[in-house]
Amino acid sequence: MSINPQEFLIGVLARKLMGARHVAVGSASPLTGAAALLASELSDTPMRVTILGSKSHVFFTEGSRELFDASAQGRIDAFMMGGGQIDGQANVNLMGIGPYPKLSVRWAGNYGTPYLYSLIKRTVLFREEHTRRVFVSKVDYVSAAGVNEPNVFRPGGPSALITSLCTFGFDRKRGRFMLESIHPGHTLEEVKDNTGFDFDAPEHVPVTAIPDNRVLGIIRDAVASQIAETYPQFAERLFGIGRRAARTA
């Protein structure tokens, strides 16, 4: 079976979630939602998936503040988020471009990221666009800090960064990204040319493994039908199934 770039990224993201007991995904984020559902399907142990904005993938009965309270208690152990700018220390900017508060471009704002990034054990950063516009040496505004002073209580933080070109790991002690693998068809030169921060790389950088046919089958069947409930347009575009075909969990 041939795999399209979005299915490939769903498979790559899901690998970074394995072993979690409870994955949370923000709203307006169909690819990461699909990745969480795939990881749950592939997991040998029970893995709960909370998709904010969904009806069937939300387990809270005490209102939307329960997500935050549960996160602070360690009841959610993996999270995925993107960012308008991400720098080499894994600081994430969701506020805008320019000197705050006189921004030249304003984005939506912090949401819950300053909190969730610190408290949920691992966060997988995901941004498809791999350019120097996004991956900067220093973000213009720190919505969510990649690292803290050692005396700050911080059980969580960045564990990986996935883009359309490659996969990075993150060393929390040193506060640096480390290239893990480059996606098929791309080169180290290309990654360097399009990244505005310094990062470490092994002597021989592996090629990111392509999800196998079994995984691809799960993406197109179980994942597609579940994600269609929350993101019907995305499911229609990628898998050709709409809301009506959605499986209600």
Partner 1 sequence: MANNSKIIVDLDTLISHIKDGCRLAIPTDFNGMYSGAAVSATRALIRRGVRDLHIIGVPTGGLQADMLIGAGCVKRMEAGSMFLGEFGVPPAYARALKAGKIEMRDSTCPAIHAGLQAGEKGIPFIPLRGILGSDVVSYRNDWKVIDNPFGENDPILLVAAITPDVMLMHAPMADRHGNIWIGRRRELAVAAHASAVTLVTVEKIVDTDFMADEQAVTGVLSNLYVTAVSHQPKGAWPLSFGNDYDEDAEHLHLYVESARTEEGFKAYLDRYVFEREVVPA
CB 45 → partner 1: shortest distance, Å?
A: 26
Q: Are 48 and 23 in contact (CB under 8 A)?
A: yes
Name the residue type at position 61.
T
Is 192 a residue that touches partner 1 (CB under 8 A)? no
Residues 101, 189, 214, 248: which binds partner 1 (CB under 8 A)? 101
- Give the orientation angle of helix 30-42 with respect to helix 5-15, to 10 degrees: 50
Please, which residue, 116 or 216, has the CB nearer to partner 1? 116
Is 147 a residue that touches partner 1 (CB under 8 A)? yes
Integer angstrom CA distances of residue 228 from 18, 30, 38, 225: 23, 9, 14, 5
49 φ, ψ to 5°? -125, 120
CB 63 → partner 1: shortest distance, Å?
A: 3
Residues 154, 172, 186, 220: which binds partner 1 (CB under 8 A)? 154
- Taken as a whole, the chain contains a residue count of 249
Residues 143, 159, 163, 225: which binds partner 1 (CB under 8 A)? 143
Q: Are 240 and 51 in contact (CB under 8 A)?
A: no
Number of amino acids touching partner 1 (CB under 8 A): 46
Footprint of partner 1 on this chain (CB under 8 A)?
Answer: 27-28, 52-55, 58, 60-66, 68, 72, 94-95, 100-101, 106-119, 141-145, 147-148, 151-154, 230
